[in-house]
Structure formats: structure tokens, C-alpha cells
Amino acid sequence: MNEPQENMQQPSRRAILTAGGVALAGFAGAKLLGEVLKPRADVFIARNQNYDGTLVPTIRDALAACGLAPERFRGKRVLLKPNLVEPTRLVPHMTTHPTVILAAAEVFRTWGASVTVGEAPGHVRDTEMALNESGVAEALHGEKLRFADLNYEEVAWRVNRGRVSPLKGIYFPRSVCEADFVVSLPKLKTHHWVGITCAMKNFYGTLPGIKYGWPKNVLHHNGIPETVVDINATLPNSLTIVDGIDCMEGDGPIMGSLKRMGLILVGSNLPAVDATAARIIGLRPERVSYLQLAADRLGPIAEEQITQRGENWQELVSPFKILDRPHLRDLRAEATGPLVS
């Protein structure tokens, strides 16, 4: 091996510093590009809301603030999906209020869309009973709105686009498959397994009971967080209008107690809306299992990636009561340390 020549030029200190500067600039540029390319979303919050017939302008303005212009819906088929999980007139805060459904329907109809309301209640086979007990049947009849019984419609199979759970594909009812937009109209509630049920979890009710049973244990056995993400990934275009006026805390989503919040949340990205709702009720979205899986896959959940429209969520925080279980305590905003599985 030849010895190096003594007169061989060595890199100068300036050259080394210059090269280092270029490398650092490249690294900083890549980091900045990474930040720019992270998904972003708008979430609108309205406070002081009531079930008194004044929700139409709130919903209309909220959709516009989130970039959802009327032209996008003209001539389109819009399916409104409320939460009618196990309705009873004794617990109206368990299900989506009929006034929210009618207000959303009026907005989209005014914008030239064809509107259908559809639901596949997961706990009751008698959909007519669910409609009557929730007060939705009378509301829809009064406005001549079509209802699609998603539990019993003919179905079509769609490849699982999320591929988080073991499911190869998902059966959806005809009305879901034919919709241009599926709008989640959830009730904001706690959930005894995953902490919160809101826009994303509400889409469990798009899957037909004739394929998945009552309750939908096929989905549960394949993982609730995983199937929530897969369903949302496989649905047509979606957005959400959250009934956060009269909510449920404690032993949700069925046996909890009333929590009055007076809020409407709107957005076209469901993970971002659910993450904002979680912060409002005192939970850390990055610790909510289905939001962990959805983060930056279906949308942002980090606060800095969500542009707040309307009210600031920080001013609306009112922690919901939750069951005293380790996996739920770990979701609290003040929780630290590793999660309990």
C-alpha cells in the first residue's frame, strides 16, 4: 500500500465548515419539508347551541368555514348517519337528536343534494322501534326524508383499504356504496372500552346486521380500534357534524349520564374532529387506541396540525366522568407513563 504523498491537499477548515453547513441545511430543509407534508385539517366548533331550530345557520357556516362549499354537494347523494344504538325515550342523550338530523338535511338539500338518512343499529334488530323510540321516525316523516335500513339492505363487498385488522374486505349496504358523501352525525359520548365514541366509531352503524350480527361481534373479535380505522378508510367521502349539545359521560355509550355541553363540531377529517373532541372531554387523543392507529394515516390528531375554526377548544374543556378502570384512567389529559394494556 502506497504511503500518502506529503504534498496531497487536505480539506481546509473552511471547506469542512461549508460542507457541514450544506449538510445541516439539507437536514433542516428535509425536516421543514416533512412538517409541510404532514396532513392538516380544519375543525369548527360552535358553542351555546340548542335543539331549538337554530342549528341550520350554524351547520351551514361551519361547513363553509371548513372549505366545504355548496357546489361540492350539488347533484350529489348524501347519506346522513346518526347514532341510534339502543334508543329509549327515557335516555335521549344516548342518541343523535332529531333536530340535528333535520338541520343537516336542510343544509344539504338547500345546496342541491339528494339526502337519505340511514342507520344500522347495533343492539336492536327492530329498526322501526329504534326510529320511534329516538323520535327520528316522526321527524323524518314530517320532512319527507327517506330512511335506509342499513341492517337489512342488500350489500356489496369492498376490499379493506385500511388493512389494519385481519379483515380482507367489508360488506356495506347499497345506500352506503351509492353515496357520494357519508356524513357521520354522532352523539359525543364516553365509551367503556376505547374512552370516547364520536365521528369515527359512529360508522360501525354503516355495517349491516345481516352480515355482522347484533351486536357486531365479528368486528369486535377483529379488534375495535383496528376495525374502526378500516371502516373509515374504506367508506366513500366522509365528513362529520357532531351532536355535542347534550352528551353522555360515565358508563357510555349506553348507560352513562347526561352531560350538557352545548357544542356542535364540524369537519371533513374525522380523526381531527375526534381528537379535538377528546381534548374537550379531558382525554389525550394520542392515547386513544383508534386515534393512535388513524394518526397521519387517515388524518392528523396532533394539535399543531389542526386549524381551529369558530371557538377555541381550550376554552371549552370540561372533563367527562369516566369509569374507574386502569385503561381509561390512562387516557386522561394528566396521565403520564406507559399505557396499561
User: Residue 128: pLDDT above 60?
Assistant: yes
Q: What's residue 335's pLDDT?
A: 84
Q: What's residue 38's pLDDT?
A: 87
Q: What's residue 6's pLDDT?
A: 38
Q: What's residue 18's pLDDT?
A: 62
Lowest mean pLDDT across 1-10, 228-237, 290-299: 1-10
Total-model pTM:
0.89
Q: How far apart are CA 292 and CA 208, in angstroms?
A: 26
Q: Give pLDDT tens digits for 183-237.
A: 999 999 999 999 999 999 999 999 999 999 998 988 999 999 999 999 999 999 9
Q: What's residue 5's pLDDT?
A: 41
Tell me the pLDDT band of 123, cut-offs 50, 70 and 90.
confident
Burial of residue 123 (CB within 10 Å: 0-12, 13-18, 19+) is: middle
- Name the helix (H) or strand (E) containing 37: helix 13-37
Q: How far apart are CA 255 and CA 332, in angstroms?
A: 20
Decide: 303 and 41 in contact? Cβ < 8 Å.
no
User: Which structural domains are found in the chain, ordered by start?
Assistant: 43-329 (3.40.50)
Question: 257-267 and 306-310 as β-strands: parallel, antiparallel, unpaired?
Answer: unpaired
Q: What's residue 36's pLDDT?
A: 59
How many CB atoms lie under 10 A from the CB of residue 227?
28
Region 293-306: what's the mean pLDDT? Answer: 98
Q: What's residue 338's pLDDT?
A: 79
Region 124-149: what's the mean pLDDT? Answer: 96
User: Residue 37: pLDDT above 80?
Assistant: no
Q: Give pLDDT tens digits for 150-186.
A: 999 999 999 999 999 999 999 999 999 999 999 999 9
